[in-house]
Amino acid sequence: MCRLNFSSFVLILVALLSERRSSAERTGLPESTDFLLCRHCGFNVAAGSTVSNVRSPAALSSLNQTLFGVEGVLVQTLRNPLGIEFEVVTARGGTCIGSAQTWQTEHTWFPGHAWKACTCSRCSRQIGWVFEPLQTAEARSLC
Ligand SMILES: [Zn+2]
């Protein structure tokens, strides 16, 4: 399994569930953390702290919302070549696993980046896409 590097990011379907777990329950500290959860099995996909706004020039619309305990989360509506629209957020990191398919460079929503579908590490259902800069995608295709 390839690990995401700093320049990689994950585009996650915003229809995921969100759960707030008090860290006080786990650590005794007063802070709390929200998590993005797989809508299919409830597995922890990413911490709210990994949400990172990456704007796509292909976005049909966008707005900022408070989600996963984070203010100003960019929620974008994107359309694939089949005409299917998705509301998505971006994150750097998480447990999403890039599929075994090769990096795709056509129909990318982020110029200069290749993409592949990513799946939940527990139930293997697609939960989004991972994007990698073109310069490093080819080298990482050997993973
Ligand atoms: Zn799942």
Query: What confidence tens digit (pLDDT) does each residue in 68-119 have?
Result: 777 888 999 999 999 999 999 998 888 888 777 889 999 999 999 999 999 9
Instruction: Give me the domains of the chain, ranges plus CATH numbers.
Output: 9-141 (2.170.150.20)
- 23-32, 54-63, 83-92, 100-109: range with lowest mean pLDDT: 23-32
Question: How does pLDDT run across 117-142, given as a tens digit for each residue?
Answer: 999 999 999 989 988 899 888 776 55
- What number of CA atoms fall less than 13 Å from residue 106's CA on the CB side? 1
For residue 135, the CA-to-ligand 1 centroid distance in Å is 30
DSSP type of residue 48: G
Please give the pLDDT value at position 76. Answer: 94
Neighbours of ion ligand 1 (CB under 5 A): 38, 40-41, 43, 120, 122-123
For residue 62, the CA-to-ligand 1 centroid distance in Å is 26
User: Do residues 124 and 101 touch, judged by C-beta distance below 8 A?
Assistant: no
